[in-house]
Amino acid sequence: MSLTGLLKAVATQPAFIRLAESRVATAVAPTSLAPVLLAQLCAPAPVGASRRLLVVTATGREADDLAEVLRALVPDREVAVFPSWETLPHERLSPSLDTVGRRVAILRRLAHADSADALIAPIDILIASVRAVLQPMAAGLGDVDPVRITHGMNVDLIGLVERLVELGYERNDLVERRGQFAVRGGILDVFPPPDEHPLRVEFWGDVVEEIRTFSVADQRSLELAHHGLFAPPVRELLLTAKVRERARLLASSAPEVADVAARIAEGLHVEGMETLIPVLVDGMVTLPELIDPSSTLVLIEPERLRTRAHDLERTAAEFLAASWHNAAVGNQTPIDLAGASYLSVAEILDLTDARSMPRIMITALASDVELLDARDDEVIDFEATAANSYRGDASLAFTDIAKWAKASWRVVLASEGHGSAERFVESLSGEDIPARLVDSLDDEPQPGVVSVTTASMAHGFVHAGCALAVLTETDIVGQRSSTKDMRRMPSSRRRTIDPLTLAKGDFVVHEQHGVGRYVEMAKREVGGASREYLVVEYAPSKRGQPADRLYVPTDQLDLVTRYIGGESPSVHRLGGADWEKSKGRARKAVKQIAGELIKLYAARQATKGHAFGADTPWQRELEDAFAYVETPDQLSCIDEVKVDMQREVPMDRLICGDVGYGKTEIAVRAAFKAVQDGKQVAVLVPTTLLVQQHLSTFAERYAPFPLKVAGLSRFNTDKEAREVVAGLGDGTVDVVIGTHRMLTANVRFKDLGLVILDEEQRFGVEHKEHLKALRTNVDVLAMSATPIPRTLEMAVTGIREMSVIQTPPEERLPVLTFVGPYDDRQISAAIRRELLREGQIFFIHNRVESIEKVAARLRDLVPEARFATAHGQMNESTLEQVIVDFWDGQIDVLVCTTIVESGIDIANANTLIVDRADTFGLSQLHQLRGRVGRGRERAYAYFLYNADKPMTETAHERLVTIAQNTDLGSGMRIAMKDLEIRGAGNLLGGEQSGHIADVGFDLYVRLVGEALA
């Protein structure tokens, strides 16, 4: 994909030539023209000025989007993005290892660039958000040597491991995310942040024999990594001997930070320790000070930058007050932490002016020039306008395109995908507008012909002076799908126990030896080779003797599971008969269940349904248009569903997966497949909000195809409901999404082929009777976001197949979780931090009678934010309007009850604050946390309690569990803990829970599977 032809189209225009020659200038142009201006400044002659650039944008997302367009405009130039921390400088949260590693890799390229080395090649265009530019960082990070290994090198593995630890890498049993490493014998796995895949280094003695990439999802080796291993530091505060000594002195002189400083002195990485960087390192610098002074500083929309900088300074100061109040201003030993605070835009401009750096500002408003005192700059007006937003009105868009083509303008239409590009060419040709499909726009666009190409551009522009119009798919259709980010790889499925999640004394179950207590991980030498073992303690073989110990090698961890079963179990003896008896009793009970299951399964096999056909080209086009990389689990679930649908036996499958793991996309594809065979689809959901959510998702995914999707819930007017019911009867409605209102007697389908149930366990008994009537010869796909053990009863005692999604989606990051007492300062700082990145906030308060009072208090705390309330007792039209306004971004903070627990999926809402979290159930807290973290930004969850009121032991245990289980896919562990807190008696009835207590939950489920095999 190349757009270099656009530069050739503007190269000879006077305004572009003036900008290329200017040292200090202000360009008046729409933001959508900015990529072309930047590309021209950087591109080699004759189309450009061959400059190096530091470009400052208002947000990190804008920086990423700009980089993608620039890589298409100047493919032979090195474009890089310098990311900002996800956290603020004074928060008690550390930035992710991934982010820090990518930052330090860029700093290395700035300090030690080498054009002969692709890994540290000089950067031509460096793009950074204003937040990344204004934040001071420790000096000298670019001079810290990364770990570099290539094939054939002699390397001391022990020394290498020590070096990785020094650079901040975390040691794990399995490498699952960036910043981790693992050692097994002569194999080192490590995941450096700059790489798309983790790397596996195989040693023969001390010689590096092979370096390959490998898959996180299944840990299998992939292809040779010819560039070798390049692992930069993943911490910006490196715990050198000097830093540890300073921390030791600080711990004794500043009591308010003693807890953090003392642990740093011991060489331990502490959450939020980066706040102490100003008092532990020598010197702080900002990004512009590290750039070659001959580079040009480019500010895009300077007034937005100044506003954002002001907000950043204020919010960082609030966090300093809320998180480190005593340390910063306490009477005992105040220390100066302000060195980590953001600078202002004016201070950055003074720094760059002192270094005589050229500066260009790009603004859509001429008034911005005066606001930043740039009156002496050369002002260049490009006389261009942003492209119209046609919001789906294709006829209006085609009218404008026809007018430009007739006037011999050069018209470029940039589409997100190849399928939509082909459809645009067909549609334009159908309107008698000359159009051609161009794989790569290397040459200047042809006048009078629309050049349709694939490119990831947000918006286009119209430049009359160049007779050039560039439109994007977003401009015409009105919405843009998220771009695929191949860097974000799915995490692995957890099949084996993770020793790092075990605490000494935890009960575990070994499949062959029974229940024991976890002691530690230990290293032992056997036959001259050192191996790591998980140590499990069992009851002594004789009374009065010490306990027996079992050493389980790390390659046999699949035999060990954590014990789940309510009360503390009795520990078995190694080699005793008790364990075999317990397993025998459980097996016998399981066989009885298996017999009933087999009868039910045989009855189901006797029923005949519709066998759907193979995938159509449209099906493949729909799937190719999915904006994300499918996880391995998603792909296997989709395949299982399709195989079921293509059989004559009616499908009855349950999809289980954690919150936001991509179950809806499976439903979208299954429904589309059914419609391709001329069948209708009913999607049944428990709440009206979820109807709106799914309606929006399905409509967006099906927009390019001739399908009709309708909603049926209490949000419909009587007239709308009658039209939908009539459409179902005559077959004009293909997919209907609705609540139990769909189950009323007056709703008749012309040819129903598939029923999709979301959260089936939330429907009442009456509704399930109606469903049984619907189910006779119809395929049924049920989905549950409820953690897996809750739905076990349906999967084990029902007749349905079950698919599990355990792998997180490609862009999901764990939600940063804070559990603590309610504090107004913390809340206002958290809200303002989210507003800084133009995000939205859920504030959960679960008492309808006091919700307005809480909203009023929040308005006083953060008057600049836009607030609204939502709860189940509001009338339907008001509630719908509030939710729609929140979706549309017209509300910043939604103060609501748990009405949002399932259903609202807003990628832009990335901060959750739960008031009185101690009054919520564990799975409820987990579901609520799943409402955030669905977009590209790092999400935050604050679970707050009233410090003045006593908390029950159970509530305390719940909050501890939610705080500890923040990893992606932790829903399973949370549900297991829930079983432990409540006991397993209500899972399969009293009789079965006794057997679960004997052998542990995991092994019980395995025995059921064996009996059915």
Contact 276, 256 (CB under 8 A): no
Does the structure show a pLDDT above 70 at 9?
yes
CB 746 within 8 A of CB 771: no
pLDDT band at residue 6 using 50, 70 and 90 as cut-offs: very high
Give the per-residue pLDDT at 335. 66
Pairing mode of beta strands 450-454, 378-381: unpaired
DSSP states along 757-781: EESGGGS-HHHHHHHHHHHTTSEEE
Q: How confident is the prediction for the chain on average, in pLDDT?
A: 83
Mean pLDDT for the stretch of residues 319-330: 57
- C-alpha distances in angstroms, 548 versus 118, 504, 506, 525, 570? 55, 16, 16, 20, 15
Q: What is the pLDDT of residue 859?
A: 95
pLDDT at 880: 78
Residue the block writes with tokens 């002691």: 519
pLDDT, residue 232, reads 96
pLDDT in tens, 84-99: 998 888 877 888 889 9
Q: What is the pLDDT of residue 920?
A: 87
Tokens of 145: 């040597």
pLDDT band per the 50, 70, 90 thresholds, residue 990 = very low
Percent pLDDT > 70 in the chain is 83
pLDDT for position 771: 66
Same fold, 147-231 and 404-477: no
Question: What is the Cα–Cα distance from 476 to 584, expressed in whole angstroms?
Answer: 66
Top-confidence residue, 658 or 440: 440
- The residues near 1 (Cβ < 8 Å, ≥ 6 apart) are 72, 439, 440, 453, 454, 455
Instruction: Name the pLDDT band for 483 (thresholds 50, 70, 90).
Output: very low
Average pLDDT over residues 938-950: 87
pLDDT value at 489 more than 50? no
CA distances from 362 to 31, 68, 575 (A): 8, 19, 77
CA-based nearest residue to 229, from 204, 197, 206: 197
pLDDT over 70 at 329, yes or no: no
Per-residue pLDDT of 63-79, as tens digits, reads 999 999 999 999 999 99
Report pLDDT digits (tens) over 214-266: 988 778 888 999 989 999 999 999 999 999 999 999 888 887 788 889 999 99
Assess whether pLDDT exceeds 90 at residue 307.
no
Place of tokens 């008001």: 878
pLDDT at 486 over 60: no
Greatest mean pLDDT range, 156-170, 329-343, 645-659 = 156-170
CATH class for the region spanning 4-142+273-381: alpha beta
pLDDT level of residue 797 (50, 70, 90 thresholds): very low
Place of tokens 């008696």: 985
Instruction: List pLDDT tens digits, range 385-413.
Output: 999 888 777 888 999 999 999 999 999 99
Please measure the distance between the N-terminal and C-terminal CA atoms of the chain and give it in whole angstroms. Answer: 50
Mean pLDDT of 32-57: 88
pLDDT in tens, 699-721: 989 988 989 999 998 778 889 99
* R_g (Cα) of the chain, nearest Å: 30
Whole-number pLDDT of residue 92: 75
Residue 146 and residue 76 in contact, taking contact as beta carbons nearer than 8 Å? no
* Single-letter amino acid code for the residue at 682: A
Closest CA to 831 of 892, 898, 902, 920: 892
pLDDT of residue 244: 94
- Residue 326: the pLDDT is 44
Residue 958 φ/ψ, nearest 5 degrees = -60, -50
Q: How confident is the model at residue 850 (pLDDT cuts 50, 70, 90)?
A: very high
Lowest mean pLDDT, pick from 265-279, 323-337, 344-358, 407-421: 323-337
pTM above 0.75, yes or no: no
pLDDT of residue 48: 67
pLDDT digits (tens, 9 = 90+) for 830-847: 999 899 888 999 999 989
List alpha helices for 440-499, DSSP H.
473-477
CB-CB contact of 870 with 883 (8 Å): yes
Among the residues of 195-301, which ranges form H helices? 241-253, 258-265, 277-280
Residue 1006's pLDDT is 67
* 40-54, 204-218, 771-785: least confident range: 771-785
pLDDT, tens digit (0-9, with 9 covering 90-100), for 547-556: 899 999 887 8
Position 118 scores a pLDDT of 86
Q: Across residues 752-760, what is the average pLDDT? A: 87
At residue 320, does pLDDT exceed 50?
yes
In which band, very low, low, confident or very high, does the pLDDT at 652 lie, cut at 50, 70 and 90?
confident
689: nearest Cα among 759, 622, 623: 759
CATH 3.30.590.10: does it fit domain 404-477? no
Worst-scoring range by mean pLDDT, 93-97, 146-150, 489-493, 606-610?
489-493
Q: Indicate the pLDDT class of residue 893, thresholds 50, 70 and 90.
A: very high
Query: Which residues neighbour 67 within 8 Å (Cβ) at sequence distance 6 or greater?
Result: 79, 80, 81, 125, 127
Q: Which residue has the tokens 């004789």?
A: 542
The predicted model gives 451-468 an average pLDDT of 92
State which of 383-397, 611-625, 857-871 shows the largest mean pLDDT: 857-871
Enclosing H/E stretch for 18? helix 14-21
Instruction: Please check the confidence at residue 59 and state whether its pLDDT lies above 60.
Output: yes
Q: Does residue 976 carry a pLDDT above 70?
A: no
| Separation CA 850–CA 869 (nearest Å) | 11
Work out the angle at residue 216's Cα, subtended by the Cα atoms of residues 215 and 221, and round it to the nearest 5 degrees.
30
Higher-confidence position of 505 and 217: 505
Closest CA to 193 of 114, 89, 83: 83
According to CATH, what is the number of the domain 816-967? 3.40.50.300
pLDDT at 817: 84
- In whole angstroms, what separates CA 284 from the centre of its chain? 31
Report whether pLDDT(735) > 60: yes
One-letter amino acid identity for 105? Answer: A
Q: Does residue 630 surpass a pLDDT of 50?
A: yes
CATH (residue range 147-231): 3.30.2060.10
How many whole angstroms separate alpha carbon 137 and alpha carbon 16? 36
Please report, for the chain, the start and end positions of each structural domain, with discontinuous segments joined by +.
Answer: 4-142+273-381, 147-231, 404-477, 607-805, 816-967
Domain 607-805 has CATH 3.40.50.2300: no
pLDDT given for residue 715 in this prediction = 76
pLDDT of residue 265: 93
